[in-house]
């Protein structure tokens, strides 16, 4: 190899020195610790729950039996008859078939088992991609049975593994000719991620079955018809400021007939007619024809969950428009009254007195005290004049009758472009209170849009960043992963949300939950299977921001008086937590080099130490997994504060939260 000419060597050396000097350059930041620019709304960081990816049935809703009431469009879906012919019959020992005498849409069908001899015919429920059972845990079984002439002596209910090994068993005695409810406790003898429920019969003749249900006893707060404790705990750990529910596109439905109707999701659980989940076959690459909404997790349970989490409930209602990505079916304006009435009745359900019709429904469900709902969303992701016309009707009715309720409107599915511009322009004219914006975009987009809200009109509507997530490949690609690069980019962007907390009053990542096998959309904040769950790096970013949200926005700027919005790959925001008497700084380094920083706090005397939370990985493609759920998770340390100054070196690709107390007398 020929030696490089001397001049080239000199310039290379110079370049190397300059690069080194630049990366070693200290970034000096000043926090205006004594001056609150704006209040940080308690709703600043929240969660958005939609029943997508088996988030409700098969996920948060702890029911373990799929198609428990035989009401799916294929009423035997989820149920197997062992040793059966391709047509589902086991002629040797028995036959299960569906009878549909019912006219009540919630309860059309039941299952009739005809036993041909005493050889132990059984039915098996496969659960939601299996049932996760834990050794020694107790499970609450209930079912309805009618046993005419009582020729069936026993029902033997057992957990079995994939090979048919029994992992816990209980016996029921069906001692009534007519319909009667039976319950029992099943105790698992082993832990098994993919158990199934076998229902076998001792005797002869016919027996009718319905509403076969199984819940772990150990649900969130021990509630019957309860929620999965580990998943709710992950949500609670985020300390969300609000809970947006139930969607998402699920609110709108592909057609109006298939829209979400909250009134059908309250009252006795078995009276709630189920609905096919719109995400069942939305993506041909991830079909889930067995995906239904049982509504066991319905509006009452959502309000209760919000209350448990200390989060403001934010229900979203359809506004007379089916999903515009599907049919876009419209309710004529002069037929919109029932939809508007649904919104008014919902306010009564949540907040009304117990002697009001809908307040009474709430009270009868066990919650006489009002839920104290303050927000309502009209429409999900609608666009165009059709939305504006309908929104105006809702806005008028709700604000006239309930001026205390803040209405959230939407600006369509995209964060820019014609739909978005038009939506904002029109909603501004209508003095909309809060406008929901959605962005699913590349990490690069998130990094370069940290200044998105810097120029927003301070006198205009407030912003709800209602659905966002960085996409490692592209929106709706099944190859998207919750990589560290995505989470890091979101953190950079979130400093921009926070710096603009006078305009941005709510924000939430989307989607929230995904079943390892039952998902349709990725990336997602939390992944789970039937036994485990873990937070993605994005989850930890959300948690770091949310649990350090503070109460007051503080200015933080470089020596040039600029906000840090990506210079040298760095981002920053700062808040004060008045009740905790503390100042918090959030720092993001999206570059591949370590960055020395010096943060000086003006006009407030700080304590001598600061707590540092660091989220970091050297590898942008790294992800958390079931095997390594905390591969990327925050680490806590302490650092000295000298003369109101913190000196710290940020690792490459890192998110830091510095929190330091204020000295007494400040
Ligand atoms: O979060 C997934 C979907 O993305 C939501 O249902 C919808 O609002 C958006 O298009």
Show Cβ contacts of residue 103 under 8 Å, excluding neighbours closer than 6 positions: none
Cα(94) to ligand 1 centroid in Å equals 45
* Three-state SS at 184: strand
Using 50, 70 and 90 to split pLDDT, how confident is the model at 437? very high
pLDDT given for residue 666 in this prediction:
57
pLDDT one-digit tens code per residue, 395-416: 999 999 999 999 999 999 999 9
Cα(248) to ligand 1 centroid in Å equals 5
Structural domain spans, the chain: 20-37+552-662, 47-60+234-546, 79-216
Q: Whose CA is nearest to atom 3 of ligand 1?
A: 248
pTM: 0.95
Q: Whose CA is nearest to atom 6 of ligand 1?
A: 248
pLDDT average, residue stretch 584-597: 98
pLDDT given for residue 117 in this prediction:
77
Q: Whose CA is nearest to atom 2 of ligand 1?
A: 511
pLDDT average, residue stretch 509-530: 98
Q: Locate the ligand 1 atom nearest the alpha carbon of residue 50 and give its number.
A: 6
pLDDT given for residue 7 in this prediction:
53
Q: Is the pLDDT assigned to residue 85 strictly greater than 60?
A: no
pLDDT average, residue stretch 582-598: 98
Equal CATH topology for 47-60+234-546 and 79-216: no
pLDDT average, residue stretch 507-512: 98
Ligand 1 pocket check for 464: Cβ under 6 Å: no
Q: What is the mean pLDDT of the chain?
A: 94
Q: Tell me how far the alpha carbon of residue 557 is from its chain's centroid.
A: 34
CA distance 365 to 361: 6
Q: What is the CATH number of domain 20-37+552-662?
A: 2.60.40.1180
Instruction: Based on the residue annotation, tell me whether 381 is a catalytic residue of this protein.
Output: yes
pLDDT one-digit tens code per residue, 447-464: 999 999 999 999 999 999
pLDDT given for residue 622 in this prediction:
98
Ligand 1 pocket check for 380: Cβ under 6 Å: yes
> How large a percentage of the chain has pLDDT more than 70?
94
Q: Is the pLDDT assigned to residue 655 strictly greater than 90?
A: yes
Q: Is the pLDDT assigned to residue 88 strictly greater than 80?
A: no
Range with lowest mean pLDDT among 35-39, 85-89, 437-441, 575-579: 85-89
pLDDT given for residue 18 in this prediction:
43
From the candidates 381, 485, 490, 498, give the one annotated as an active-site residue: 381
CA distance 600 to 580: 20
Closest CA to 513 of 129, 131, 45, 56: 56
Query: Is there a contact between 538 and 511 (Cβ–Cβ < 8 Å)?
Result: no
CA-based torsion, 475, 476, 477, 483: positive or negative: positive
Ligand 1 pocket check for 115: Cβ under 6 Å: no
CA distance 457 to 442: 26
The CATH homologous superfamily for domain 47-60+234-546 is Glycosidases (3.20.20.80)
Cα(247) to ligand 1 centroid in Å equals 7
User: Could you please report the per-residue DSSP string of 327-392?
Assistant: T--B--GGG-HHHHHHHHHHHHHHHS-TTSHHHHHHHHTT--S-----EEEE-SS--SHHHHHHHH
Ligand 1 pocket check for 467: Cβ under 6 Å: yes
pLDDT given for residue 94 in this prediction:
85
Q: What is the CATH number of domain 79-216?
A: 2.60.120.260
pLDDT given for residue 14 in this prediction:
44
Q: Ligand 1 pocket test: pick from 51, 52, 286 the residue with the most ligand atoms within 8 Å of its Cβ.
A: 52
């Amino acid at each position: 190899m020929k030696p490089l000419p001397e001049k080239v060597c000199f310039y290379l050396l110079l370049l190397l020195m300059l690069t080194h000097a630049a990366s070693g350059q200290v970034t000096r930041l000043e926090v205006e610790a004594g001056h609150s620019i704006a209040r940080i709304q308690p709703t600043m960081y929240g969660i958005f729950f939609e029943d997508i990816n088996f988030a409700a049935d098969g996920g948060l809703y702890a029911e373990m039996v799929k198609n428990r009431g035989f009401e799916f469009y294929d009423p035997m879906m989820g149920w197997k008859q062992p040793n059966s012919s391709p047509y589902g019959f086991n002629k040797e020992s028995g036959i299960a078939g569906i009878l549909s005498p019912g006219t009540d849409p919630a309860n059309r069908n039941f299952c009739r088992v005809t036993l041909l001899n005493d050889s132990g015919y059984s039915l098996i429920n496969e659960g939601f991609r299996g049932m996760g059972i834990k050794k020694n845990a107790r499970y609450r079984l209930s079912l309805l049975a009618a046993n005419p002439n009582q020729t069936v002596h026993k029902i033997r209910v057992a957990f079995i593994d994939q090979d048919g090994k029994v992992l816990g068993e209980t016996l029921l005695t069906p001692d009534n000719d007519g319909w009667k409810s039976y319950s029992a406790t099943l105790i698992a003898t082993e832990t098994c991620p993919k158990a199934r429920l076998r229902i076998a019969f001792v005797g002869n003749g016919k027996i009718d079955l319905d509403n076969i249900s199984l819940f772990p006893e150990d649900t969130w707060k021990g509630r019957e018809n309860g929620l999965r404790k580990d998943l709710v705990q992950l949500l609670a750990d985020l300390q969300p400021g609000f809970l947006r529910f139930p969607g998402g596109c699920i609110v709108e439905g592909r057609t109006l007939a298939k829209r979400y109707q909250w009134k059908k999701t309250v009252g006795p659980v078995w009276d709630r007619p189920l609905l096919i989940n719109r995400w069942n076959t939305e993506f041909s690459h991830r079909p889930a024809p067995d995906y239904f909404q049982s509504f066991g997790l319905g509006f009452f349970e959502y309000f209760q969950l919000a209350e448990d989490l200390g989060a403001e409930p934010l229900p979203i209602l359809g506004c007379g428009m089916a999903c515009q990505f599907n049919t876009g079916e419209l309710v004529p304006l002069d037929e919109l009254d029932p939809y508007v009435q649904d919104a008014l009745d919902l306010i009564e359900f949540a907040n009304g007195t117990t002697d009001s019709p809908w307040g009474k429904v709430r009270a009868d469900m066990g919650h006489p005290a009002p839920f104290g709902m303050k927000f309502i969303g009209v429409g999900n992701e609608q666009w165009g004049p059709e939305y504006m016309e309908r929104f105006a009707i809702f806005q008028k009715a709700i604000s006239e009758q309930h001026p205390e309720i803040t209405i959230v409107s939407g600006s369509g599915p995209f964060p820019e472009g014609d739909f978005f511009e038009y939506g904002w322009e029109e909603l501004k004219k209508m003095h909309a209170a809060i406008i929901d914006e959605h962005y699913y975009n590349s990490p690069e987009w998130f990094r370069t849009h940290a200044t998105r809200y810097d120029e927003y009109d301070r006198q205009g509507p407030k912003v709800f960043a209602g659905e966002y997530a960085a996409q490692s490949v592209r929106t709706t690609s099944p190859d998207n992963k919750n990589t560290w690069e995505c989470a890091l980019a979101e953190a950079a962007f979130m400093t921009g949300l926070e710096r603009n907390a006078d305009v941005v009053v709510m924000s939430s990542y989307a989607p929230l939950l995904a079943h390892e096998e039952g998902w349709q959309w990725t990336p997602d904040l939390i992944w789970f299977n039937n036994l485990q769950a873990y937070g993605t790096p994005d989850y930890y970013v959300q948690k770091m921001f949310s649990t350090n949200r503070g109460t007051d926005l503080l200015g933080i700027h470089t020596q040039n008086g600029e906000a840090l919005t990506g210079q040298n790959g760095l981002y920053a925001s700062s808040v004060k937590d008045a009740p905790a008497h503390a100042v918090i700084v959030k720092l993001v380094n999206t570059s591949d080099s370590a960055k020395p920083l010096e943060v000086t706090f003006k006009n407030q005397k700080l304590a001598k130490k600061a707590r540092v939370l660091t989220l970091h990985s050297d590898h942008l493609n790294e992800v958390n997994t079931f095997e390594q759920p905390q591969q990327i998770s925050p680490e806590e340390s302490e650092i000295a504060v000298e003369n109101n100054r913190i000196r710290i070196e940020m690792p490459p690709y890192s998110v830091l939260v510095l929190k330091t107390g204020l000295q007494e007398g400040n």
